[in-house]
Structure 1
Amino acid sequence: MATGTRYGVDLRAALPADAADLAALLGGEARGMAGRLEAMARDPASAVLVATGWNGAVIGAIALSWHPALTADRPLARVTALAVAAEERRNGIGRLLIKAGAQAARAAGCDRLEAAAGEGEGGAFLAALGFVPAGANLARPLRKRSEGG
């Protein structure tokens, strides 16, 4: 799993203790978030990564899942949630989360990362990171073209 510190931001797998911070960031109640975190932690086809600031509080999160598909030889990864605290936006945290999520998806054998086609800033943000329209979604390859053609 992708972990580490970059630009003063710690990237790591979400922990049960992060439930209240994640609920505040994504909406909902901490108890419900704790149950969803637990379920995703048990699922080998998903990951939840968080970015924490200097005080240890969650300032961003990305959730992913991957699955086999009839349209691809390798599993497809999908961003199911991506959020950065309003006061932390435009500091590169979303970019770090996408990069860490892509690394986790590659480690799971995926060669494509999809995200819902966001409107406005969300869509522009994903486009700036290399996502292109793919049906109703945006997608980007996870492997360089020279790797396996």
Structure 2
Amino acid sequence: MSLLNFQLDSMPGIDLVTASALIAEIGHLRRFPNANKLARFAGIAPVFFGSGGKGKEHKSKQGNRALHALFYNLAVQQVQVAKGSKLPRNPVFHAYYQKKLKEGKTKGQALVCIMRRLMNIIYGMMKHKTAYELPIIKEKEVV
């Protein structure tokens, strides 16, 4: 598996070092039949605690913590507004983050939503060996 096969560094916030760390922590993508399994491996998917048909989903403290930290840092970078600029680094993720905050989620919960979306995108990029393309957003979505 070569770093050149994947185009992870085409996404804003992912440089050569981060891409290498992601590939090293994930390993062979064949181990994960879908993005949900990879999210569970990284500790991003919620865990159900309950018994007798009752219970709640809680934040997972299991999984690969190094991979979890990589996705957390990447999520923070996606929603940051660069110093001296009023434009966010990734306007699509910034708009999604603001939407989650308006829905009543805490900042931490909104970041987990970003992490999960990043997981799906990166899984797809690695599986299909494609580059990241910044989606076009409508004017009303920009905050």
Report which of the two has the higher share of strand: 1
TM-score, normalised relative to structure 1: 0.30
Q: Which has the higher helix share?
A: 2
Which structure carries more relative contact order (alpha carbon 8 Å, separation 6+)?
Answer: 2
TM-score normalised per structure 2: 0.31
Larger Rg: 2
